[in-house]
């Protein structure tokens, strides 16, 4: 069977071809890592498309490669290549291509669309013929720690091939629109109803219940974007303030993180658990370092904190400043002392009933993942 026949076999009575288009999402993030933009978008697009979420390989001791598959939401199937240890780069690429081709040949999609979260996935998908190619440029991945050296060139190739490009924020849109004539800013949004539960009394989770107030909280990935020195200084200067940090530690040495009696690392939590923790915080923090990896970020947690009715203090991340700096409920601080003053002002604001909710609701007016995904779908349909 030649490659074209393998990928597009003739339909027959025994065909399992879906009448819905297949959207193959090629991801550098795992579905079960942190529930964020990819999960929100794919679970909603699955209302109209059959979504395949193809993750990076897992290497193990077995001798043969196989493709693990399991459902995670209605219309969403996760595909995980499990490969033998010891393969060289070319063998890893070939193995992923073969596993993916075999899956597509078996399931016979009537129409294939490609959604790239990482340009690096082109190395094993560049032979696929798709009706639409989408590049969802969430972040400037080349600026992240341990980014592959080839990423910049692979992104250039993807920009030349993509029919439509989405960006995770406006600053990133300003950068990418110079390289493609169909780029759309699709900033990370929020499931308001999910986080609004934090505005109501919720029992404190067991690992947070004993922590005193005032509580300053953060949830998200703790990596090279996290300003370790700022958090250390904050904890030192205000030992009566309790800092609650939720999320996995990746790409940095955990031993470099500040340790203090008033800093509480609670580890990673499920998306469903976050409102219960947020409900017990007095102020939400976004202590991002100002470096290349944060130059274009548009943090999802900003609207999530606000939906939960919690005032926010952030370092001057450009998209946060432009999007929320004038909201009255998101303070921007560019030094440890300014951060402390802004936190105190936020604590004072909490003594005024209804003010935070009023400001937060105004800042979130009209914002939802449903709306963002509807706009994405409209752009995709224009290309079909």
Q: Are 245 and 265 a contacting pair, CB within 8 Å? A: yes
Outline which parts of the chain fall under CATH 3.40.50.2000: 3-189+370-383, 192-363
- pLDDT for position 172: 87
Residue 74 pLDDT more than 70? yes
H/E element, 20: none
For 351, the token pair is: 């003594």
Across the range 173-202, mean pLDDT stands at 93
Residue 131 pLDDT more than 70? yes
- pLDDT for position 256: 93
Q: Are 25 and 54 a contacting pair, CB within 8 Å? A: yes
Percentage of the chain lying above the pLDDT 90 cut: 83
DSSP string, 274-310: HHHHHTT-SEEEE-B--SGGGTT---THHHHHHHTT-
Percentage of the chain lying above the pLDDT 70 cut: 93
Residue 272 pLDDT more than 80? yes
Strands 66-73 and 76-84: antiparallel
User: CA-CA distance, 29 to 38, in Å (whole number)?
Assistant: 8
CATH of the domain spanning 3-189+370-383: 3.40.50.2000
For 359, the token pair is: 């400001």
Q: In the CATH hierarchy, which fold is given to the domain comprising 192-363?
A: Rossmann fold (3.40.50)
Q: How confident is the model at residue 175 (pLDDT cuts 50, 70, 90)?
A: confident
H/E element, 80: strand 76-84
The predicted-structure confidence for 289-321, as pLDDT tens digits, reads as follows 998 888 888 899 999 999 999 999 999 999 999
């Amino acid at each position: 069977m030649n490659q074209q026949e393998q990928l597009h076999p003739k339909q027959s009575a025994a065909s399992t071809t879906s009448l819905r288009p297949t959207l193959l999402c090629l991801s550098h993030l795992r579905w079960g890592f942190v529930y964020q933009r990819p999960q929100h978008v794919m679970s909603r697009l699955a209302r109209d498309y059959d979504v395949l979420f193809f993750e990076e390989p897992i290497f193990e001791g077995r001798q043969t490669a196989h493709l693990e598959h399991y459902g995670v939401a209605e219309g969403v199937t996760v595909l995980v290549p499990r490969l033998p240890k010891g393969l060289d780069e070319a063998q890893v690429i070939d193995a992923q291509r073969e596993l993916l081709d075999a899956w597509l040949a078996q399931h016979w999609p009537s129409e294939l669309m490609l959604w790239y979260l990482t340009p690096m996935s082109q190395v094993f998908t560049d032979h696929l013929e798709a009706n639409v190619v989408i590049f969802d440029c969430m972040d400037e991945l080349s600026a992240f720690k341990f980014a592959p050296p080839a990423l910049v060139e692979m992104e250039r190739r993807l920009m030349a091939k993509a029919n439509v490009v989405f960006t995770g924020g406006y600053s990133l849109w300003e950068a990418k629109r110079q390289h493609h004539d169909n780029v759309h800013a699709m900033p990370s949004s929020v499931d308001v109803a999910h986080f609004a539960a934090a505005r109501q009394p919720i029992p404190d989770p067991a690992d947070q219940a004993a922590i005193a107030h005032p509580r300053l909280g953060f949830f998200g990935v703790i990596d090279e974007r996290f300003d370790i020195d700022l958090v250390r200084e904050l904890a030192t200067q205000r030992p009566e303030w309790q800092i609650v940090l939720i999320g996995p530690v990746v790409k940095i040495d955990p031993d470099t993180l500040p340790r203090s009696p008033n800093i509480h690392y609670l580890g990673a939590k499920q998306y469903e658990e976050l409102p219960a923790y947020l409900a017990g915080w007095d102020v939400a923090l976004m202590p991002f370092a100002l470096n290349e990896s944060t130059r274009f970020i548009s943090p999802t947690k900003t609207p999530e904190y606000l939906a939960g009715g919690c005032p926010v203090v952030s370092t001057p991340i450009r998209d946060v400043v432009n999007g929320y700096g004038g909201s009255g409920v998101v303070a921007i601080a560019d030094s440890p002392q300014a951060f402390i003053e802004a936190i105190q002002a936020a604590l004072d604001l909490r003594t005024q009933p209804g003010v935070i909710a009023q400001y937060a609701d105004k800042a979130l007016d009209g914002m939802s993942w449903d709306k963002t995904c509807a706009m994405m779908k409209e752009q995709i349909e224009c290309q079909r």
